[in-house]
Amino acid sequence: MRHARNFHIGLAVLFILFGGHFQVIPASGSEKEFNGQKDFISKGMMDIQLVSGPLFSSRILANGTPTTNSWQNGIRLGWILNNPTPKEFLLRGNIEAMIEGSHALVYQGPGTYWVGITALIRYNFVPPDSEWIPYIQAGVGVVHTNAYKDHSQDAIGQATEFNPQASLGIRYFFKEKWSVNFEGVFLHISNANLADRNAGLNFFGGFIGVSYLFDRSCLPK
């Protein structure tokens, strides 16, 4: 099946690109080189992420829409806006602004693809001395799709649609700047009644990916 092939290809690419960087964090003496309290996820850092995974359509809030399943790949660039809140704060964390470019292959349902750009806001929960960083995020952008050409459906009525979404995820930092990410996502596609057909599509799915944190001072000026 096409989605199974995409999954295996995605895993192979992630392994080739990042497998050589994986190493186990030492149990002792790690505080000096890897310590959540050092706030390596802190103000001014930038974050590049690759994510990939399936999205499955749901009829929640959109009855009568066609079954539409896809596989989405994305690349994100984030900018951490502030240092984590004080250590004593129960939900200690910081805010990250992100921009995402995405591409999805539709393997069931109208159309064959969509491509999009999305603005995201993420809140990183930063527990002291932890390699695990949970997060929540939400955003909206636009997608271009050819699904509107299928006039047997009322969900997608034009080439350009909006894609409001929300996610819940967690990152595991296996090195000071490298993490593997697991994310559950809800995504909606519709055109805000700008076209005659606008039943919309709702998706639930999950992404897996890798991230690299870097200091923006290393960028060319």
Cα–Cα dist 172/121, whole Å: 20
Closest CA to 189 of 143, 138, 148, 136: 143
What pLDDT score does 34 carry? Answer: 38
What pLDDT score does 33 carry? Answer: 38
Neighbours of 136 (CB within 10 A): 14
* DSSP assignment letter at 18: H
* Integer CA distances (angstroms), 69 to 53, 160, 201, in order: 11, 19, 10
Question: Which tokens sit at 94?
Answer: 């910081």
How would you class 175 by CB atoms within 10 Å of its CB: exposed for 0-12, middle for 13-18, buried for 19 or more?
middle
Consecutive 10-residue averages of pLDDT for the chain (221 residues)? 47 42 34 44 91 90 80 97 84 95 96 97 91 96 97 94 98 91 97 93 96 76 56
Neighbours of 124 (CB within 10 A): 21
Neighbours of 121 (CB within 10 A): 14
What pLDDT score does 90 carry? Answer: 79
**Three-state SS at 221:** coil
* Total residue count of the chain as it appears in this document: 221
